[in-house]
Structure formats: structure tokens, C-alpha cells
Amino acid sequence: MPRRTRVGILAIALIAHSSCSLTHDRLTFRVKVSDIRRQSNALIKNKQPDDSVEITLPGKLMSPPTPVSLIPRAQAEWGTTGRAAASIVSANSAGDVPWIVENYVPSERLAIAKQLSDPAAAGRIRDYYRNLGKISITGWTEIRGFTVLFLQGVDEDGDATLIAIVLSKTSDGWKQTGAIATDDTFELVWTALHTGGVH
């Protein structure tokens, strides 16, 4: 689960970007080695806990954030990363398992359907998304050909929760994937987002 943090700590703006690969924008992600959860991460090999690691990738932080509006399933489409995000957030907020599964790349749908076959699991996802509050896209980056959208939910108390949605361009549009969930670069990016190390 993403760590919660006050809204003012992270100046990450959201984007619903339809052509990320065509831009020349760059982001630098910097983290302390001690903040990396997996000490087997190759990017911190031979580094000391107080050392910092920095990588630069295609990407952009946007201001102001772009709200993600909830949509009915009939309006779901995946022609842009922003529209894919709206479909993903809406499906999860509704707890609509077939729709959640449809948002994934075809090769991962069976596994996702199995994970959500337990009604309690689907209910936990629904409740999690509903408790996020108002959700916006705050930025994006690219890792190994995948586009990572940064989402931020702000609840009624002003607390923010960060989510990263990884998208792959398919013949049916932008679809969610878990392909880089354990990727070293993705972990560094995720850590930098939570520690304010993005510029």
C-alpha cells in the first residue's frame, strides 16, 4: 500500500498525456540508498546507506493536477493514457471485477481475474479507491517502454495517497500491466515520489 503523506510535501502535478513518447521532457529521480526497500536492487549495489542514487528518465510533472473523473463503464476507452486512467480508477471504485480485468493487457487478465475471484478481495480494492478522495494525475515517466502515471488522491482531511499506474500501448489502446512491478528502476522512481526526490 502506498504511504500517506500531506499534500504539501510532494509537489507532483498530474497529467493525462496521450503522447508521452513524443516529448523531450525529462525527470530526475534521486533517493537515499537507505530509503530503497529491496536491498538487492542493482541500482544501489556497492553503495552506502547514506549515499544517494540518481537516474534521469523521460517524464514530466504537471501543474495544476488534472482531475480524474469517474465514468460509467459504457464510456470507458483507452485511446489516451488519461482516458485509461479514468477507466482504471472508475472500475476499481465501482468494484466491477470484469471491468477491472478488461483494463489489463490480455496476457495478465486471467491472473487478475483469479486474484479478484474472492468477493472480499474485490471489496477491499473498491473500498481502497473510494477512500482515496479526489484523484488527479500528477505526472508521468517512461521505464523500459512502459508509461507510468503518477496519481494522487486527496481525502477530506487533506491527506494524500500516491498511486502509480503502469500502462502498455496495445492494439486496443493503453492497458494496465504489472510487468515492471519488481523492476529496480521502477522501485527507485516509486521511492523518489514518496521522498520528494523528483525534479
What span, in angstroms and rounded, lies between the C-alpha atoms of 68 and 75? Answer: 14
Q: What's the CATH number of domain 4-195, 3.40.50.1170, 3.10.450.50, 3.40.50.300, 3.40.50.970?
A: 3.10.450.50
Domain boundaries, the chain: 4-195
- pTM of this prediction? 0.86
Handedness of CA 17, 21, 23, 27 (dihedral sign): positive
What span, in angstroms and rounded, lies between the C-alpha atoms of 193 and 191? Answer: 5
What span, in angstroms and rounded, lies between the C-alpha atoms of 137 and 3? Answer: 17
What span, in angstroms and rounded, lies between the C-alpha atoms of 91 and 18? Answer: 20
- What is the pLDDT, as a whole number, of residue 62? 87
- What is the pLDDT, as a whole number, of residue 79? 98
Residue 98's φ and ψ, nearest 5 degrees, are: -60, -35
Q: What is the pLDDT along the chain (199 residues), one digit of tens a residue?
A: 444 443 333 333 333 333 334 446 999 999 999 999 998 999 999 999 999 999 999 999 988 999 999 999 999 999 999 999 999 999 999 999 999 999 999 999 999 999 999 999 999 999 999 999 999 999 999 999 999 999 999 999 999 999 999 999 999 999 999 999 999 999 999 999 999 999 9
What span, in angstroms and rounded, lies between the C-alpha atoms of 55 and 66? Answer: 26
- What is the pLDDT, as a whole number, of residue 12? 35
Q: Which amino acid is at 89?
A: V
